[in-house]
Amino acid sequence: MSFSITGIAFFVLAVLAIAAVGYLLGRVSIKGVSLGTAGVFIIALLFGALFYNVLSEQMVVKVGEATANYTSNALKLIENIGLVLFVTSVGFIAGPNFFKNLKKNFKSYITLGLIIIVAGGLSCLACYYIGLGIGGEEDPKEFMAMLVGLLSGSLTSTPAFSAAKDTVAERYQDAVTVGHGIAYLFGVVGVVLFVQLIPKLTKANMDEERSKLMSVDTGEKKAYSGKLINIDNFGIGAFAIAAIIGIAVGSVKFGTFSLTTTGGTLLVSLVVAHFGRIGRLNLTPSKHTLEVFRELGLMLFLIGAGVAGGAKFVEYFQAIYFVYGVVMTIIPMIVGFLFAKYVLKLSLLNNLGSITGGMTSTPALGTLINVAGTDDVASAYAATYPIALIAVVLISQGLILLF
């Protein structure tokens, strides 16, 4: 009798093992602060760094005399499925209150989103001149490509990463990729810890903060008096329709810019959730379905991104680049938080929700929802995210073109 697991079965086993160990790590609490779902990302990075080659060996497929390895494609598929599930769920959750919230705080969200991203861009620029002053950077253009990759990783922004790669000369694309991978770790963990630490440091009364948040998201949707027709009992069909349209919208390009899958699915799910139905056809998934898809999607996204990033992390890691990434994560968060608190006068949860959107951090939003004990923080994330998405893409491209 023999026992052997190879190919797709091995890949699935690896994904499930990362999830199990990652959630166990996420449960570890130090003075009330824990990694939560971001623990999955840490384990995924470690797995990628230590066992990527083992995983890759199991994913070799023979086609006649030729062989092909599908590890990278499989991880990308896991990442994209997770992204669609998570972001579409967030859009549906935020949708009913989103437009009222946006109308009341429109200028605040746009201003805060821009402040956060500009602070990140200026931090990147400062690191560039500091690095040149220290010396050791033989090619300034390659160094800037690395730093822009660090910026996109610090803000966990796949669109900025993609735009930067498209903008730089081909010989500098690896520098962008490496920079993104190095900074992505702290970009995820840093914001996750930030949204947990701030309520503790400010000794916030969460019941009062939830009340303030609810006062922003005023008004309930008027119930439809007629009987609605459900595609299925869980709302999975309606969810799939919104996701399909969102992916299509995100694929439309305006020059080199597109909303990407993230922006497209977020926008469409917000609109669909706002209206809730077409005639008698119900387009609102159940709350339980959205909660499950949100968590499942976040987990899959972190595993796909983490394993792939971990594979190159050790090979290209330099301490100074990690420090640059930390700077580009911390400064925009602090500047954004202080600006929102003292200038815009936003309540704590509205402030932190906006920070997760301004930092384009989906993992941090998942953590903040758990910290806040309410899904309503997703409205602030969804309102700030679009302007931050556009701004970080433009600033990333601008920095590369300037240098």
Q: What is the DSSP string of 279-315?
A: TTEE----HHHHHHHHHHHHHHHHHHHHHHHHHHHHH
What does DSSP assign to residue 234? S
Report the predicted TM-score, pTM, of the whole model to 2 decimal places. Answer: 0.72
The predicted pLDDT at position 335 comes to 96
Provide the residue count of the chain: 403
Domain ranges of the chain: 7-217+228-402
CA distance 366 to 37: 8
Residue 24, Cβ neighbours under 10 Å: how many? Answer: 12
pLDDT tens-digit series, residues 83-110: 899 889 988 987 877 777 677 777 888 8
pLDDT tens-digit series, residues 342-367: 999 988 998 999 999 999 887 788 88
The predicted pLDDT at position 356 comes to 92
The predicted pLDDT at position 34 comes to 73
Spatial contact of 79 and 340, defined as CB atoms under 8 Å apart: no
The predicted pLDDT at position 218 comes to 42
**Two structure tokens written together for 378:** 């997703």
**Which of the residues in the chain have pLDDT under 50?**
217-220
CA distance 46 to 29: 20
The predicted pLDDT at position 290 comes to 93
The predicted pLDDT at position 159 comes to 64
CA distance 364 to 87: 13
The predicted pLDDT at position 248 comes to 94
Spatial contact of 179 and 153, defined as CB atoms under 8 Å apart: yes
Q: E strands within 22-151?
A: 29-30, 33-34, 60-63, 66-69
Region at 268 (left for phi over 0; alpha for psi -120 to 50; beta for the rest): alpha
CA distance 197 to 285: 33
CA distance 185 to 332: 16
The predicted pLDDT at position 247 comes to 93
The predicted pLDDT at position 137 comes to 65
The predicted pLDDT at position 217 comes to 46
**Two structure tokens written together for 99:** 């437009």
Measure CA of the first residue to CA of the last residue in the chain; give whole Å: 63
CA distance 289 to 234: 6
Among residues 155, 72, 79, 140, the alpha carbon closest in space to that of 328 is found at 155
Pairing of strands 281-282, 277-278: antiparallel
The predicted pLDDT at position 362 comes to 75
**Two structure tokens written together for 247:** 């992916």
The predicted pLDDT at position 261 comes to 80
Q: Which amino acid is at 298?
A: L
CA distance 229 to 277: 9
CA distance 177 to 171: 12
